[in-house]
Structure 1
Amino acid sequence: MAGVRFVSLVLVVAAFDLTACSNAERAGMSSGDRRLCAPFAAVAQTGNQPQAPINALPVNPLPITADPAAALEDCLHRWGYALAISPDDASQVATASVAACGSPLARWNQQAIAIGRGRRPIEAPSLLSGQPTTPIAEHFIFAQSRALFYVVQARAGKCAPPPISNGVPTGLTT
């Protein structure tokens, strides 16, 4: 009987220790490192789109609408930060961000097709993996990896999401 009480006491003490570690870990993570947060790109003032803060660094000197890759990057950044508060796994949140940015990704892919003048996309070895790939496949891989980066960055830095208007992050170009 004394052995059962001792084992019970050890289990209770261990549970309290684990809870204390878990709470300390959460407390350390709750502050985040705001230096990890990236400012949102400035967008042209059209209608109700916000102006970039005065202290924001210029992210892209060209207008976002002039560069489909920059428009995709901005979309992934805004959606990644906006959805980062989701309790879902970061890869699932990143997949949702890519899905939300389907239009900018399609425009970037259309640009790649236009450069090839309608011919079959060039297949060449990837500069990262060496595997055969196409520009469109590389665009998708880029979108996936950048979306995951922005979700993890927002979570690690406890970064503020962009303002939301009608369920969509403001500042997105259409």
Structure 2
Amino acid sequence: MSHNPEELEGAQISHSLALILSAAAEPHHNDSAGHYFEQSLNAYRNSAGPQDPAFLAAQDDFCRFLLFNGQQERCVEIQRASLATKKSTFGDLSAEVADTLQLIGSVEMTEGRMKQAHRMMTKCLEIQSLLYGPQHKKTKTTQKAVDMLARAPAVAERQQRQGRMKAKPAAFSLVPSSGNDGNSMSDS
């Protein structure tokens, strides 16, 4: 396959093999699956480019494989790096961007980084609400995660601080003078 002049076809075949091997119950297939994921990503990158939807889909599949195999940090690193490309390829308000934010937020949450998780999941929720509406099951699931994260001490403290900053009165205020300005309600 590495000598195949049709690099895109080779990328598709490698991607398919990676998916099949990653779904196998035997853990000894993980090395082969990882190899085929890497091979498919390199072939997609060389033939179609890193902004191509097929490359980005294969990259997302690879990240799910990494998550399943306990490589959360590498997964998040790849997903963060792909975020700008996904925004330019699919648009800021796309399912692909929402899924990436949700994946990053989920990993942040499992790693105990609640503030970062809350920020990512809130962005995801905003996009999902616009795309699917507030009653869609994806939106509802993300809303539950955002609500749970909001109760985390680090997030709650941050929100209280932000709330106090918004609630502070202005340094000066316009107070009507106490005199007759001609706008009185009674003429008696």
**Same structural fold, with TM-score higher than 0.5 when normalized by the shorter chain:** no
TM-score (norm. length: structure 1) = 0.28
Pick the structure with more strand per residue. 1
- Report which of the two structures shows the higher radius of gyration computed on alpha carbons: 2
- Which TM-score applies when normalising by structure 2? 0.26
| Higher fraction of helix | 2
